[in-house]
Structure 1
Amino acid sequence: MIRHFRELYQYRGLLLSLVQRELKARYRGSVLGFFWTFLNPMLHMLVYGLLFGVFIKNQIEHYPFFMFVGLLPWIWFSTSVTTGASSISDRRDLMTKVRFPAQVLPATVVTTNLCNFVFSLPLMVALGVIFGVWPSWHMVLFPVVVLTQLCFTLAVVYVVSALNVTFRDLQHIITNLMMLWFFITPVLYRVSTIPEKHRMLMMLANPMAILMSSYQAIFYEHRLPDALPLLGLLGVSVVLLWGASQLFESRREEFAESI
């Protein structure tokens, strides 16, 4: 793992260059261009807000803002995983080059979507102000939550990108799996609405539930996230990232031949 990330740091200039290229190319040729970074989550919010806030009544105050707090990190995670699954298999032009650092490609996908997440945060804060929900000092723990999600997302993307080189059906399975994962993650509803006997199982089996609850605690509920689940997930995510980097390194020599 140390060698893996030492090389990633060594090629940080390449990583930054690829991220910049991805950000510029994502909406190149479209009329609205960079504004799609804000419009995409807003459109998601409008659709789900209409469904669960108007047609299916709920008791959550300031529901559009509550939902938006969870949608932004979920979009970062889901887009990273679905796009990252093919980040190696779709780049034969780069992988066939001598000594190209393969680990840069999945990291580029995750970092690009992290940038989109960060760029959308002012929109989330503005939406909160509209509903009278102002930021509070609890935001000091926001970097810890982001770091935890970054480690977990990188671990997942490293695994699926390495396996997808050999098992190409995996990227299609993941696309459908993410839809199921979305609805069992408390983005559109409070985790407290889950029966208590199932709540602990959900939090243990679904790391994204811990992350969503942490974001909601900071921005919506104005309290500190539950320390034990969050710090436990951070530790688990670091271990998963170590294991994922080991798997990625063990298969890296096969990438050029397999694609």
Structure 2
Amino acid sequence: MIRNLRELYQYRGLLLSLTQRELKARYRNSVLGFLWTFLNPTLQMVVYSLLFTVYMRQKIESYTYFVFVGLLPWIWFSTSLLAGASSISDRRDLLTKVRFPAQVLPATIIATNLINYLLSLPLMVLLGVFQGRYPTWHIVAFPVVLLTQLCVTMALVYLVSALNVTFRDLQQIIGNLLTMWFFVTPVFYMANTIPPEFHTLLVLGNPMAVMTTSYQAIFYEHRLPDPGPLALWMAISLVLLWVATNIFERRREEFAEFV
């Protein structure tokens, strides 16, 4: 894991260049261009807010803001995992070059979606201000939650990107799993509405539930997130990242052959 992080730092210029290229290519030739960074999560928020305030009414104050707080980190996670699965298998043009650092490719996907997430945060804050929920000093905990989610995302993306090289069905499986994962993550309902007998499995056992409730605590409930679940998943994510990077390293020599 240390070697992988050291090499990412060593090739930070390449990582930055590929991230910039990915950001430019994402909305190339579209009329609205980079505005889709804000419009995509906004449109999703509007749809889910209409669904759960008109058709399946939720008795949650400032519900639109509540949904937005949980939806943005989920979009970062899900798009990184889905696109990251094919980040190696789709880049034969780069992998066949001499000594190209393959670990940069999954990192590029994660960094691109992280930037989109961070750029969407001002829009979330403005929505909160419009609904009377101003940021408080509890945002000091935000970097801790962000770092924890980054470690979880990196671990899973490195793992699935390495496995997808030889098992191409994995990307389709992940797409379906993410749909189910989304609905068991408390994005448009509060975690305390989950029956107690399922709380351990669906909240503590779900890293994105821990991330979502932590962001909700900071921005919506104006309190510090529960330290126990965050510390637990930070420890688990470091172990997962160590396992994932080891698997990635062992399979790296085979990438050019299989892609």
- State the TM-score, normalized to the length of structure 2: 0.99
Q: Which residue of 1 aligns with 2:58?
A: 58
Kept after mapping to 1: 8 A contact 2:86/2:171: yes
Distance 1:256 1:126 in 2: 46
Alignment-derived partner of residue 126 in structure 1: 126
CA root-mean-square deviation: 0.7
The unaligned stretches of length 5 or more in structure 2 are none
After the TM superposition, which parts of structure 1 deviate over 3 Å for at least 4 consecutive aligned residues?
Answer: none
Equivalence for 2:42: 42
State how far apart, in whole Å, the 2-side matches of 1:185 and 1:253 are.
Answer: 37
- Written as runs of structure 1 = structure 2, the 5 A alignment for 1:80-159 is 80-159=80-159
Identical counterparts, % of pairs: 69
Return the letter of the residue paired with 2:11.
Y
- Residue 43 of structure 1 aligns with an amino acid whose one-letter code is L
Q: 1:50-78 CA deviation, whole Å, 9 max, x = no partner?
A: 10111111111110000000000000000
Q: Separation in 1 of the partners of 2:159 and 2:240?
A: 10
Matched to 2:243, the amino acid is G
The letter for the 2-side match of 1:229 is P
2:182 aligned residue: 182
Q: Distance in 2 between matches of 1:55 and 1:7?
A: 51
Aligned length: 259
Q: Does 1:6 align with 2:17?
A: no
Aligned to 2:17: 17
The runs of 5 or more residues in structure 1 that have no matched partner are none
How much does 1:240 deviate? 0.8
Name 2:194's counterpart in structure 1.
194
CA contact (8 A) 2:19 2:111 kept: yes
Partner of 2:72: 72
**TM-score, structure 1 as length reference:** 0.99
- Find the aligned partners of 1:85 and 1:60 in 2 and give their Cα distance: 35
Report what 1:212 is aligned to.
212
Shift of the alpha carbon at 1:24?
1.1
Give secondary structure in 2 for the equivalent of 1:30: coil
Please tell me the residue identity of whatever aligns with 1:134: Y
The separation in 2 between residues aligned to 1:4 and 1:119, in whole angstroms, is 27
8 Å contact from structure 2 (residues 164, 170) kept in 1 = yes
How many angstroms apart in 2 are the aligned matches of 1:203 and 1:42? 26
Contact kept in structure 1, 2:185 and 2:203, CA below 8 Å = no
